[in-house]
Structure 1
Amino acid sequence: MAYTDQPTPDSHVAVLAFPFGTHAAPLLSVTRRLASASPTTLFSFFNTSQSNSSLSFPSDLLPSNVRVHDVSDGVPEGYVFSGRPQEAIELFLAAAPDNFRKEIASAENGAGKKVTCLLTDAFFWFASDMAAEMKATWVAFWTAGPNSLSVHLYTDLIRESARVKDMEETLGFISGMEKIRVKDTQEGVVFGNLDSVFSTTLHKMGLALPRAHAVFINSFEELDPTFTTNLRSEFKRYLNIGPLALLSSASQSDTTPVDDPHGCLAWMEKQGTASVAYISFGTVMTPPPGELVAIAEGLESSKVPFVWSLKEKNMVQLPEGFLERTREQGMVVPWAPQVELLKHEATGVFVTHCGWNSVLESVSGGVPMICRPFFGDQRLNGRAVEAVWEIGMTIIDGVFTRDGFEKCLDGVLVQDDGKKMKGNAKKLREQAHQAVSTKGSSVENFKRLLEAVMDTLN
């Protein structure tokens, strides 16, 4: 057993990143922290060149004991994409085991150190077998929340127990999911294509994870204590080490300038407390044109101040004259400093797709949400926001209409229900900050994670 102040001097950790969506960045963030805490351990970070190029590798933020390696994306030379959803992911996953093995062997030769731990995205269920072959430990990072992790862990039980035709049925036979309905679960669990490469991967992952030396997630114990207790009974080690956004901001100097190219924060300083609607649907998803129009019309008719992060290519979908007419009311920008906006006192509501990172950043800022989920775990997260934590509401009828959006804005920003949401969000914010404080639950769990990564198989 190795501890923070006594790292194993010859240990070598292979970090395997999933190069799609927002998976690689948080794994890199955790790797940086582990490398700083154990400076004589080598961390080899494996990711596709395209994903690596999208990550930030400034020399002052990347410890000298982290080495970045490119792995093939699995696309055969001359391959022509057919346009099927998830095609790039399928090609990558099919080739990933062999490609990772090849690059790990090369890194071992270059460093003169055998890998003692595979630290991977949890998607890589095959890392269990790889670790056994290499006589290394396997530590898995689930980048989303405990609700979606539980669905994948109990997929077989859900398929056996849930009546798929009754989409309103709750999953009360799973601890912590008493208010979650069948229709809230991810595609490929009980509906959709159960045999797709991605669905099969997640199913295999759920079966493999109990064999991991440790499973850790970007959350904090106090957010879902029932899940924490239950998942601890399922895994050898189950560790909440977040919210990562709070840890990242805490590690930055007060003098570090915030990247805010469009002046969002300066504009926010002129707004009233808890008055502004911040709107963003992440880096992957954009609502269809009709819903973009409905959002714009709802904002304009409600007169609610707003900051809307919207890709430039989608701004042409906005109603004619909208930008000019609302110039004093709000701003539409191609990118916004989300974490900073969500902790600003002027922000009153976050209109979101409910990706896990966004939800956790809103919780960390104490900001209620209006949820418009699209796919994957977003429905689960939206349901938790509305029915479990009671810190927001799902958009009326599941899609944006002008009147529906106006009612939601009024419900959160003005009505008594909104005041209750704000109070609940504030309590969770305090618990999140406590978790990442000295001797907080997430700080203590990070120490246990470092111990797990430093462990060697005898």
Structure 2
Amino acid sequence: MEKKDRAHGAHVIVFPYPAQGHINPMLQFSKRLAFKGLRVTFAVTKFVSKSMHTNSNSVQVQLISDGFDDGGFEQAESIHDYLSRFKEVGSLTLAELIKKQDSSGKPVDCLIYDSFFPWALDVAKQFGLVGAPFFTQMCAVNNIYYHVHQGLLHLPVREPVVSIPGLPAIDIGDMPSYISDPQSYPAYHAMIMSQFSNTEKVDWIFVNTFNKLEEEMIEWMEKRFPLRAIGPTIPSMYLDKQVEDDSDYGLHLYKPDSGDCINWLNKRAEGSVVYVSFGSMAALSVEQMEEIAWGLRRSDSYFLWVVRRSEAEKLPSKFVEETSDKGLIVTWCPQLEVLTHNTVGCFVTHCGWNSTLEGVSLGVPMVGIPQWTDQIPNAKFVQDIWGMGLRAQPNEKGIVSREEVERCVREIMEEEKVKEIRKNAIKWRDLAREAVGEGGTSDKNIDEFVVTLVGLQSVSHSHH
């Protein structure tokens, strides 16, 4: 336990955007900081806390408000309404939380906040705290947005191919949808761009990635920002095994029931199952669901497909019955356990950044079927930069056809070509483990932050 004493428990509040894909990585980062001896308070909205089942003893959960305590995001009239109310009510309740911690003898030293909330830096500075945004997307994507924010890349983009320092040349079609189609979600577009509105005033920037995965990109960003890669933020048991009792995300906004999937997988042959999941947010069109369904059927592989309840009616009628010999469709499954199961040979994914990082860190070849935002460049990187999967190509209507789904799945499950993809998948898995393992790049970056914070803390608290 000598670690705990050394850090005198400098106190950090970690404040995520209240969606599963943001809470999970930031809660995992919080557990790492606690393991390194910091005192960590995790600030979530009242609404999210109602459905949050967290089992972490090392991190204390405290509540703030987004102004929609009864219904969260769904209760707001629009995206814009939600975000502007959150800024107003969130700023006040976050400030109250900091005061409350101070008065109970646990003064706060640092606020780590989701990069979607640049206004949180104003709250941090109001109390003289160290302020650090946490970016839940890959560095390359952040850099694309940074170039737009700085006016270095103009929208709408007129050129078919865009070149940005530290990145390979990217076709406009491989850009995040906020770039290729800036009109699509104006409020989200504004939020994404505002991430860079005050980066010159921050003390640190944390990104959920690791140095080897985006080497040139991170080098370029590090020269301009106090930026550190601290990922992958995947439970320690699956990577470096340093952090005790860290075997899952410990937060499920969906009720877990994992027995079925694992029992079913146990009956299959090694590498014979295609695992399919489009994350906790993606909503596919009925036509796209049908094409994926029949593509899986035609691929003639075993498949385990996670279809959320709200999406289930989009499945073709009788599909479940007709495919029960080969397929299992569930509403939820423990994704990390499934991806590490030796029967899973391929991961069909929407390429959200957390899922992509899980595929990378667990060494599973991927088929990307991205829908929007950063999923599109993530899928490009999976295929063209990291060489550990295929990106399914949509047709002229923007739909990935059943033939294309079948082609990609068959290629990964059967063909000789895949030897290279499997080799790369293992290479990236080993590099991810190395990064968060003792003395790895992400581990050292976290240590540097902890040591600096503790040094500052001992100076500032002696003046109180």
TM-score range, shorter chain: 0.7 to 0.9
Task: Check conservation: 2:157, 2:179, Cα contact below 8 A.
Answer: no
Q: Does the 8 A contact of 2:361 with 2:428 survive in 1?
A: yes
Cα gap change, 1:94/1:380 in structure 2, threshold over 3 Å: closer, same or farther?
farther
Corresponding residue of 2:161 = 169
Residue 71, structure 1, aligned to residue 71, structure 2: no
1:81-139: CA deviation from partner (whole Å, max 9, x where unpaired): 57545643443234332332233223322x13442211211222123333332222112
Distance of 2:188 and 2:389 partners within structure 1:
30
Q: Which residue of 2 aligns with 1:435?
A: 435
Partner of 1:204: 194
Q: 1:421, CA displacement in angstroms?
A: 1.8
Alignment of 1:228-247 (within 5 A): 228-236=218-226, 238-247=227-236
Contact 1:74 1:91 (C-alpha < 8 Å) held by counterparts: yes
**Which residue of structure 1 aligns with residue 376 of structure 2?**
379
Letter in 1 for 2:281: V
* Matched-pair contact (CA < 8 Å) for 2:271–2:342: yes
Residue number in structure 2 paired with 1:26: 25
Q: Does 1:93 align with 2:94?
A: no
Q: 1:319 to 1:252 in 2, by over 3 A?
A: farther
Measured in 2, the distance between the counterparts of 1:406 and 1:189 equals: 30
Equivalent runs, 1:85-124 vs 2, <5 Å: 85=79, 87-109=81-103, 111-124=104-117
1:103 alignment partner AA: L
Deviation of the 1:383 alpha carbon:
1.3
Instruction: State the shift of 1:352 in Å.
Output: 0.7
Q: Deviations over 1:208-231 (max 9, x none)?
A: 224322112222211111122112
Shift in alpha-carbon separation, 1:4–1:254, aligned structure 2, 3 A: closer
1:161 is displaced (CA, Å) by 5.6
Q: In 1, distance between residues paired with 2:393 and 2:70?
A: 47
Q: Deviation per CA, 1:221-251, whole angstroms, max 9, x where unpaired?
A: 1111112211211222x22222222525434
**Percent sequence identity over matched residues?**
26
Alpha carbons 2:277, 2:306 under 8 Å: kept: yes
Question: What pairs with 1:144-293 in structure 2 (closer than 5 Å)?
Answer: 144-157=137-150, 160=153, 164-166=157-159, 168-170=160-162, 172-175=163-166, 177-189=167-179, 191-193=181-183, 196-236=186-226, 238-249=227-238, 250=241, 251=243, 261-293=258-290
CA distance in 2, matches of 1:280, 1:201: 27
Letter in 2 for 1:359: T
Q: In the alignment, does 2:328 pair up with 1:334?
A: no
SS of equivalent to 1:213: coil
Aligned to 1:314: 311
Whether the 8 Å contact between 1:16 and 1:47 is mirrored in structure 2 is: yes
Amino acid at match of 1:399: I
Q: In 2, Cα distance between the equivalents of 1:200 and 1:292?
A: 30
The equivalent position to 1:140 in structure 2, one of 133, 136, 153, is 133
Distance 1:232 1:4, change over 3 A: farther
CA distance in 2, matches of 1:381, 1:403: 22
Partner Cα distance (1:403, 1:174) in 2: 36
> How far apart are 1:324 and its partner, in Å?
2.1
Q: TM-score, normalised by structure 2?
A: 0.86
SS at 1:192's partner residue? coil
Task: Tell me the secondary structure at the aligned position of residue 18 of structure 1.
Answer: coil
> What's 2:253 paired with?
none
Residue 446 of structure 1: how far off its partner (Å) = 2.0
2 CA distance for matches of 1:190 and 1:196? 13
Between the aligned partners of 1:451 and 1:123, the Cα distance in structure 2 is 27
Give, in whole Å, the separation in 1 of the partners of 2:131 and 2:71: 35
Q: What secondary structure is seen at the aligned counterpart in 1 of 2:205?
A: strand
Q: CA RMSD in A?
A: 3.0
Write out per-residue CA displacement over residues 232-280 of structure 1, whole angstroms, 9 at most, x where no aligned residue. 11222x2222222252543466999x97534222322332332211000
Quote how far apart the aligned CAs of 1:321 are.
2.7
Q: Which runs of 5+ in 1 are unaligned?
A: none
Q: Which residue of 2 aligns with 1:447?
A: 447
Q: Report the AA paired with residue 341 of structure 1.
A: V
Q: Is the 8 A contact 1:348 1:367 kept in 2?
A: yes
Whether the aligned pair in 2 keeps the contact of 1:246 and 1:364 (CA below 8 Å) is no
TM-score, normalised relative to structure 1: 0.87
Q: Higher mean Cα deviation, 311-320 or 22-31? A: 311-320
Decide whether aligned partners of structure 1 residues 91 and 21 sit closer, same or farther in structure 2, where only a CA change above 3 A counts. farther
Q: 3-state SS of the aligned residue for 1:125? A: coil
Work out whether residues 119 and 138 of structure 1, in 8 Å CA contact, stay in contact via their aligned partners in 2: yes
